[in-house]
Amino acid sequence: MIAGVLLIRFNHAIANRLARPSAASAPLNDPLANLPAPQVLIGGYGRVGHTIAVLLKSSGVTFVVFDTDPKRVQQGRDDGHPVLYGDIADPELLAAARAELASLAIITVDAHTAALSAISALRRLCPHVPVIARARDIQTSSVLLDAGATHAYPEAIEASLRLGAIALRMLNIPTADIELMLQDIRDWDYQPVIENPIKRNVK
């Protein structure tokens, strides 16, 4: 009974305290309306998302990044980048961001299911916007392409190609020849460099 009386007496103060945003969540509520329509939408502000944000900002390209981790959102803002809290797969968020006006969407999240959800949402809301997606391997890359990604780059193979390109440059192979070779490999869906499990086991 006493507890009931206290709740009635102080219910307004309690409600105000519960409704008040915490210090951690307060910086995450900036309205998208205050931002210009971005040229690029980025899903995820991890290692890959941060790198892409740096490159875009250095090139004068407008962009906005969405991440569901408050710590990454705050880190992005500390880095001076427009990183907002939210899931890029959320149709309402995409509508608020005016995704249909974007020139490109880049999905950098490592989670396979999250990447698929983002690609599906983008394809439904703005099918004309090309989507580049990060993939762990060639199998994941194929699934993301089937889901509607314009390009899906398998990290392991791309890292190997970059290493090989550096080696060739150090051996004085012309840069134009190297770039042509790498593009040919990508055009063939990496088939020339995919490991053959049968040959791999032969000693």
Stated pTM of the model: 0.74
157 close to 138: Cβ distance less than 8 angstroms: yes
Flag whether pLDDT at 18 surpasses 60.
Answer: no
Say what percent of the chain tops pLDDT 90.
60
Average pLDDT, integer, range 168-178: 93
Confidence of residue 30 (pLDDT cuts 50, 70, 90): low
pLDDT of residue 194: 76
**Burial degree of 153 (CB within 10 A; 0-12, 13-18, 19+):** middle
Confidence of residue 134 (pLDDT cuts 50, 70, 90): very high
Average pLDDT, integer, range 141-146: 92
Flag whether pLDDT at 5 surpasses 80.
Answer: no
CA distances from 96 to 121, 127, 185 (A): 14, 17, 38
Strands 104-107 and 40-43: parallel
pLDDT of residue 31: 53
Cα distance between residue 179 and residue 73, in whole Å: 35
Q: Domains in the chain, please, with CATH?
A: 35-154 (3.40.50.720)
Average pLDDT, integer, range 140-152: 93
Average pLDDT of every residue of the chain: 82
Q: Is the pLDDT higher at 108 or at 14? A: 108
Q: Is the pLDDT higher at 175 or at 200? A: 175
Summarize pLDDT for 73-130 with one digit per residue, the tens: 999 999 999 999 999 999 999 998 899 999 999 999 989 899 999 999 999 999 999 9
